[in-house]
Structure 1
């Protein structure tokens, strides 16, 4: 198993979530391929709320999704270059709702991700309507700050993207 540029970052976010009383389960990092044309970095964190005070409102849990895109095909409708955090509610069958952008920086501090997740769980931040895919119902602006190691992470992601573009 090879190390990916975002492994340490996602581990730090996982620790922050667990410390905040938001127990993580099934944390995965990967490099993914889309339509056979380009790769992107991905992380999925499942927050299991079954044994918390939020179990009734979130019986199947919450997904936090982080992606870093190379921007290679942004002109064709693919995501812009850089990182983004999203969230989605899990359903009973293991699928999830349409992911909605989490109002944090792409390289948000782990504490900011935990704070934003708390706001999602309390329904202060909600998923957008189907005609407004990806937009959160939230007017509180960006939550928190960037991770203190964001410059190093960005450089590592850029280097990874340059290497992938060669292939």
Structure 2
């Protein structure tokens, strides 16, 4: 297997499940879709959060728009930590051939508390593991995910 293909597989394949959070062998969040189409909670939550905060610029289901690029492939090609950095701090590319500005979402709890959710949803869309539209079946939200959400939102 070519090194690039192996890296992509490692970026996608769930190696562990920690209280409903699926991780690759190197600890990067990823999705899990059961044979019957049931998605993990973070992927389902990511669908909801993406459509609440991101789709206005990046288009439905991460497909992109005339205003901003598709993100579903970025979640696969881009390093997880670079993804977190861009969403948290924003990015500006303005030169002769680019004019794009990604605003910072570092102060937006509706994005930051669900950043892994959005990332795994986009990753699932980028591999076509999850079709367009709201996932029909989902795992239950674990107590650990519920507590992390409460802690992050300050409730």
TM-score clears 0.5: no
Q: Which structure's residues are more often helix, by fraction?
A: 2
Q: TM-score, normalization: structure 1? A: 0.27
Q: TM-score if structure 2 supplies the norm length? A: 0.28
> Relative to total residues, which structure has the larger strand share, 1 or 2?
1
